[in-house]
Structure 1
Amino acid sequence: MVHQYRNNGYNIALDVDSGSVHILDDLSYQLIAELEKNRALTDEELTGMFGDRYDPSDIREALSEIHGLESAGQLFTEDVYKNAVIDFKNRPTVVKALCLNIAHDCNLACRYCFAEEGEYHGRRALMSYEVGCQALDFLVAHSGNRHNLEVDFFGGEPLMNWEVVKKLVAYGRSLEKKHDKHFRFTITTNGVLLNDEVMEFCNREMDNVVMSLDGRQAVHDHMRPFRNGKGSYELVVPKFQKFAAQRKALGKQYYIRGTYTHYNLDFARDVIHFADLGFDQLSMEPVVAPADADYAIRPEDIPVLKEQYDLLAREMIRREKEGRGFTFFHFMIDLTGGPCVYKRLSGCGSGTEYLGVTPWGDLYPCHQFVGNEQFLLGNVKDGIVRTDIVDSFKCCNVYSRKECRTCFARYYCSGGCASNSWNFHGRIDDVYEIGCELERKRVECAIMIKAALAGSPES
């Protein structure tokens, strides 16, 4: 399967199953398009088809190069992965990451919050140190030979349970040498309670920090107010700027992570606003919401959003060439190797490798399933008891979703989010169509950026 498109003056061909990307002149681009439609076409037939527009010697030269790419396994390659999914269900369940919902409580009232201001369809609660220790013990016990283990302190707002966060980090460090493990801790915060002591600790102990900011002040304050309706932008932005500067100076990772909605379809302006504030590690996600929510992304918004990704990509190229570039999470793809085959086919590992933990220790396939009792897997004390649910998640891959089988982006999104599939279709192996449309556009932009920064528009 070959996917071809034009973007920002480049003719691009992605050989889906090999991952090879080709930047083409107009002739080669058109020849590959014809061959993709009909692989039985001969060189003579193709020369006849294009002879009135191009010199026959140029056509023969282009076809020779195309055949060379095919022989090298870089064009018109066969899908060699589909048989790999057969054994997925038989793989042992090795857990490598936990999302600890350290606080089912929040000091903001974000309008789009899937966690219902931290309550997750239940009650407000803070995770105890004892439950947190049991969660880390569970992770170590079920991680097999995996050395690096991921733990994300999440909420609600995790800084509302800060003392327990610190104690759990210390407990995790105490387990490392004994069990030959290394914990990579992450914390996601809205910044309200961020202070110098928190920053110093995170700079020492957290591999990554995620700071929630939705964009320009009017955008952010509309969607992320306090419960009294007052906006949070002026309070959190200076803290985030200081924190990000510290992380950058130390060579530590961070993300400014925003959510765009129907109210800011011009979200590229918000990402650029982040960059103008001095942030250089950025992410902006489309909101996922019921269709009747006033802030939900609608099908008719898609053309506008695609234009925004194009605008953002061009601005990133310009700033990179000026020496003031920034990264954007959804444009970060590896064209030289990428993740292992298992990850390319099955995605984030929710329900198998990655689990969410409630304040009282219940286990769910991920933080977005928390509170949905149909997906309660067990608890950190007794372990996973609903292995049937785990098995169903093991079977989620790009071949179990029929829409993915013919999608050029399938190895980059790995089938998309199981929670989104459940919320929109009542099953975990379907797709969220709006998300698919946007993901395809992001992949196209990401490849174009690579081409633009590599140099020549032709190869």
Structure 2
Amino acid sequence: MVHQYKNNGYNIVLDVNSGMVHVVDDLAYDIIAVYNTIDQNKSKKFSDIKKEEVINEIIRKYHRSEYSRLFGSESDEEEVKTAVLEALNDIEELIKDGALFTEDIYENYISEFKSRQTVVKALCLHIAHDCNLACRYCFAEEGEYQGRRALMSYEVGKQALDFLIQNSGNRKNLEVDFFGGEPLMNFDVVKRLVVYGREQEKLHNKKFRFTLTTNGILLNDEIMEFANQEMSNMVLSIDGRKEINDRMRPSRNGKGSYDVIVPKFLKFADSRKQTNYYVRGTFTHNNLDFAEDVKHLAELGFKQISVEPVVSLPEEPYAITEADIPKIFEEYDKLARYMLEKKKEGKEFNFFHFMIDLSGGPCVAKRLSGCGSGTEYLAVTPWGDLYPCHQFVGEDNYLMGNVYEGVKKADLRDEFKCCNVYAKDKCKECFARFYCSGGCAANSFKFHGNILDTYDIGCELQKKRVECAIMLKAAEAELE
């Protein structure tokens, strides 16, 4: 399977199953497209008949004016045939080398992977079901998660870390994200749990990677110092421009948060040497020109930026609709061009959704099955209940157990274990399946009532982001 597209002047051919990317000229681009149409079996060797078919189709495709553009004003059909034949031979070599039209060899692998023993490697600790902001798009309902306001006790958090250690098997590296609501409303318990985790590392040959997500209202010098010592990553929530941020992220009294958090976030990012953090925003139907928000954050001085589309049911006034997709595509293209300009100026920054590793990246199992929600990754409520992830919290049918008794619904865990790109019809022929890993199970549930579907608007945006990310890699290679 190949995916072809043009972006920012580049003709890009992605061999989906191998992950190989080819930047080609117009002739090779069109030949590959024609061959892809003619050879439905994707054979690894051209026959003479097949080559003749391709040559004839290319000649039919190009008018005489195209000949002069591609081959020179004096070209004739024989010269065209020669050029096409040379390009075909190059393409055949790529096929022989396993770099083009490769076979999908992973479906059987994922079947075997599903039979492996489940270990838990990450927890999302809902350290606070409460918040000091009233963000209009918050899926957690201002921190309440369809329930009551609560702060996690040290005892529940301690039991959660014990549960993670006991259920992690031989895995040494474990992850714990302090989440909310607003985690800093319960900072004392955060500190105590980090101390406890560090003590347990030595006893059980484990290594905790702690992270924390905050809206920044309570951020101060003490917290920054602690985070720089103990937090592997920090997520700092801000939507971009002041008017955009303050419209969607007001405090409980209706005042905006921008002026409070920006000086703190800038100081904190610099204290971390502009690494191991993200300023993370959300764009909605109200700011489809979100590239301007990314640019605003970059111009403030942030180097690690993520601005993501809101995921909301269509009845909400800020929900992204299908009609918004063309405008969002334009914004991603605009953002990619802006990032190239900044790189040329020596002022580059990272945009989370354009970060892609074409030479390595996640292991095959991760590429096929995603974040591991419901199996390797679980969310813990303030009172110790276990859910597949933070977005399922409050959904009674997805209550899996608790940190004291463990996972009680093995059938539900097995359902998530089977959630992969081959279990979803929409993913099987999608070129982006090894980059998005089948999308978010919670979003699928939100829009379709089950975890084996996909959020369609999210899929379209993800595919566009993958295309932009690959184009950026091609452009950056030229700059080196």
Q: Deviations over 1:310-361 (max 9, x none)?
A: 0000111110111000001111111012211111110000000000000000
Match of 1:137 in 2: 162
SS of corresponding position for 2:14: strand
Check conservation: 2:239, 2:245, Cα contact below 8 A: yes
Can you list the C-alpha shifts for 1:415-439, whole angstroms capped at 9, x where unaligned? 0000000010000010000000000
AA partner of residue 23 (structure 2): I
Secondary structure class of the residue paired with 1:284: strand
Aligned residue among 392, 400, 403 for 1:380: 403
Query: Match for 2:114 among 66, 89, 96?
Result: 89
Pairing 1:397-416 to 2, within 5 Å after superposition: 397-416=420-439
Q: Does 1:336 align with 2:344?
A: no
In structure 1, the residue matched to 2:76 is: none
Deviations 1:346-385 (A, max 9, x none): 0000000000000000000000000111001100011111
Contact 2:30 2:58 in 1 (8 A): no
Task: Determine the structure 2 residue equivalent to 1:181.
Answer: 206
Q: 1:362 aligns with which of 371, 377, 385?
A: 385
**Map of 1:56 onto structure 2:** 81
Partner in structure 1 of residue 24 of structure 2: 24
For 2:27 and 2:455, locate their aligned partners in 1 and report how far apart those are by CA, in whole Å.
36
Asked if 1:123 corresponds to 2:148, the answer is yes
1:385 partner amino acid: K
CA distance in 2, matches of 1:157, 1:47: 63
Secondary structure class of the residue paired with 1:402: coil
Q: Offset of 1:60 from its aligned partner?
A: 1.5
Match in the other structure for 2:323: 300
Q: Distance in 1 between matches of 2:291 and 2:171?
A: 38
Q: How much does 1:50 deviate?
A: 2.5
Q: Contact between 2:125 and 2:179, CA under 8 Å: does it hold in 1?
A: yes
SS in 2 for 1:455: helix
Task: Select the residue among 177, 198, 201 that pairs with 2:226.
Answer: 201
Question: 2: CA distance between counterparts of 1:56 and 1:229?
Answer: 70
Retained in 2: the 8 A contact 1:280–1:325? Answer: yes
CA contact (8 A) 1:100 1:358 kept: yes
CA distance in 2, matches of 1:2, 1:156: 43
Q: State the partner residue of 1:163.
A: 188
Query: Residue deviations 1:246-274, cap 9 Å, x none?
Result: 1116xx40000000000000000000101
RMSD: 1.2
**Residue 438 of structure 2 corresponds to residue 430 of structure 1:** no
Cα drift, residue 45 of structure 1: 2.1
1:80 aligns with 2:88: no
| Higher RCO by CA contacts (8 Å cutoff, separation 6 or greater) | 1
Residues 197-225 of structure 1: per-residue CA shift (max 9 Å, x gap): 00000000000000000010000000000
CA distance in 2, matches of 1:48, 1:423: 50
Distance 1:209 1:337 in 2: 24
Q: 2:448 & 2:58 partners in 1: Cα distance?
A: 46
Which deviates more, 46-55 or 151-160? 46-55
Deviation at 1:88, TM superposition (A): 3.6
Q: What is the match of residue 440 of structure 1?
A: 463
Structure 1 unmatched runs, 5+: none
Match of 2:347 in 1: 324
CA distance, structure 2, for counterparts of residue 110 and residue 296 of structure 1: 14
Alignment-derived partner of residue 229 in structure 1:
254
- Correspondence for 2:39: 39
Query: SS of 1:194's equivalent?
Result: coil
- Aligned residue among 272, 277, 282 for 2:300: 277
Aligned residue type for 1:23: V
1:45-96 Cα shifts (integer Å, max 9, x gaps): 2222334645222111111110010000000011111111222432211110
User: What secondary structure is seen at the aligned counterpart in 2 of 1:406?
Assistant: coil
Residues 100-132 of structure 1 show CA distances to partners (whole Å, capped at 9, x for unaligned) of 000000000000000000000000000000000
Q: Between the two proteins, what is the percent identity of the paired residues? A: 65
Shift of 1:456: 8.2
Give distance in 2, aligned partners of 1:212 and 1:38: 50
Q: Which residue of 2 aligns with 1:417?
A: 440
SS at match of 2:118: coil
Alpha-carbon distance in 2 for matches of 1:142, 1:285: 32
Within 2, Cα distance between the matches of 1:388 and 1:94? 15
Instruction: Please name the residue that 1:214 is paired with.
Output: 239
- Cα distance between partner residues in 2 of 1:105 and 1:44: 69
2:427 partner SS: helix
Q: Does the aligned pair in 2 maintain the 1:346–1:415 contact within 8 Å?
A: yes
Give the Cα–Cα distance (whole angstroms) in 1 for the partners of residues 238 and 444 of structure 2.
Answer: 26
Taking the aligned partners of 2:181 and 2:391, their CA distance within structure 1 comes to: 12
Which residue identity lines up with residue 32 of structure 1 in the other structure? Answer: I
Which amino acid is the alignment partner of residue 449 of structure 2? G
Show the counterpart of 2:75: none
Structure with bigger gyration radius: 2
* Aligned counterpart for 1:345 among listed residues 368, 373, 395: 368
Contact 1:345/1:414, CA 8 A, preserved across alignment:
yes
CA contact (8 A) 1:151 1:184 kept: yes
How many residue pairs align between the two structures? Answer: 455
| CA distance, structure 2, for counterparts of residue 126 and residue 156 of structure 1 | 10
Unaligned stretches of 5+ residues in structure 2: 41-48, 72-79
Q: Is the 8 A contact 2:34 2:57 kept in 1?
A: no
Whether 1:371 and 2:371 are equivalent positions in the alignment is: no
- For residues 48 and 384 of structure 1, the distance between their equivalents in structure 2, rounded to whole angstroms, comes to 62
**2: CA distance, partners of 1:412 / 1:161:** 36
Query: Any conservation in 2 of the 1:88–1:395 contact (CA below 8 Å)?
Result: no
* Alignment check: 8 A CA contact 1:88 1:394 kept: no
Normalising by structure 1, what TM-score?
Answer: 0.98
